[in-house]
Amino acid sequence: MKHYLITGGCGFIGGHLAHELSAAGHRVTVLDDFSSGREDNAPPEARIVRGCVTDGALLSELAGTCDGIVHLAAIASVEAAADDPERAVAVNVGGTRNALAAARSGNIPLVYASSAAVYGDAGARRVRESDRCAPISDYGAQKLECERELRGIGPLATIVRPFNVYGPRQHPASPYSGVIARFIALCRTGEPLRINGDGSQSRDFVYIADIVRLLTAALKREAGEPLTVNGCTGQTVTVLELAGAIAAACGTEPDIRHGPARAGDILHSCGDPDLAAASLGFKARTPLDAGLRETVAWQRGTDQ
């Protein structure tokens, strides 16, 4: 049995990871400030500490009894980071420096959730980890800066670049919530799905259980060189196709309204999954329609 610290462990990804590690018999400590997370996302047996990752002393103290850190706490979207740029730098960069210092002083592995946003607008091809990174948002630039600093700690760091993660417990009410959660909620109430532009923009959607498997594999990695891997499927769907698939999963006809294309939107985003497969044995295995069914079922369950 090991003891892991998950920063942001009451968030969407962190809550699922906390459940998984706990179910596997590990002790889990969560550090979360509840800015977007919810206590009931984490398993009841986890120790939950309310606090901020900008508090380096607290992070180091918590990490002191742990065998590894998964650092997920962040102002976790392009829009949210743009809304409060100063706070975003303090949390996204400063918080990661604190996680790095805690891992270094405890000589324990650190898994960091970066983002596909580091690539910027790379076109329709599958992007590889070795490709040039040219983020077009402050959020992406903050993630890239943290990656650079993390690689400096040597063999203990694994950097995961999730693409578009979706699944149960991604709450649709948040203005920063992913498109899948929002579209499902709209379909279920019979409201139109508003698409920016013609809907030909495409994304690589990866199901939450797959990302949790990847983070877990990264955490258990034997010491070696620092590693950076995509968290992706290597497949894309257009937003228009997605709207149709979500309507089908909800058992409705899609009511689609097109609005103006959003300035600065990345048109295509697709990751190359080969390095994660070769280095960590990871392959996303949840087809989009199956993941959508689970996500719809979860949203329906929240009505009761």
By annotation, the residues acting in catalysis are 139
| Tokens 């740029």 found at | 85
- CB under 6 A: which stretch of 32-40, 149-157, 189-197, 269-277 binds ligand NAD? 32-40
d(CA 266, CA 154): 32
Q: How many residues bind ligand NAD (CB under 6 A)?
A: 29
- CB under 6 A: which stretch of 52-60, 101-109, 150-158, 288-296 binds ligand NAD? 52-60
Q: How many CA within 13 A on the CB side of residue 47?
A: 12
72 binds ligand NAD (CB under 6 A): yes
10 binds ligand NAD (CB under 6 A): yes
Residue from 5, 70, 73, 243 touching ligand NAD (CB under 6 A): that is 73
Write the CB contacts of 156 (distance below 8 Å, at least 6 apart in sequence): 103, 104, 107, 108, 109, 110, 223, 226
Among residues 114, 138, 179, 178, the alpha carbon closest in space to that of 264 is found at 138
* CB of residue 10 to ligand NAD, shortest distance in Å: 4
33 binds ligand NAD (CB under 6 A): yes
35 binds ligand NAD (CB under 6 A): yes
By beta-carbon proximity to ligand NAD, the closer residue of 164 and 228 is 164
Give the residue ranges of DSSP H helices in 68-157. Answer: 78-83, 85-88, 95-106, 138-151
Strand 110-113, strand 164-166: pairing: unpaired
Residue from 4, 6, 12, 282 touching ligand NAD (CB under 6 A): that is 12
Distance from chain centroid for Cα 162: 5
Binding to ligand NAD (CB under 6 A) within 88-147 occurs at 91, 95, 113, 115
* CB of residue 210 to ligand NAD, shortest distance in Å: 12
Give the residue ranges of DSSP H helices in the chain. Answer: 12-23, 56-63, 78-83, 85-88, 95-106, 138-151, 179-188, 208-219, 239-250, 274-280, 288-301
11 binds ligand NAD (CB under 6 A): yes
By beta-carbon proximity to ligand NAD, the closer residue of 258 and 285 is 285
Contact 180, 242 (CB under 8 A): yes
Residues in contact with ligand NAD by the rule CB under 6 A: 7-8, 10-14, 31-37, 52-54, 72-74, 76, 91, 95, 113, 115, 162, 164-165, 178
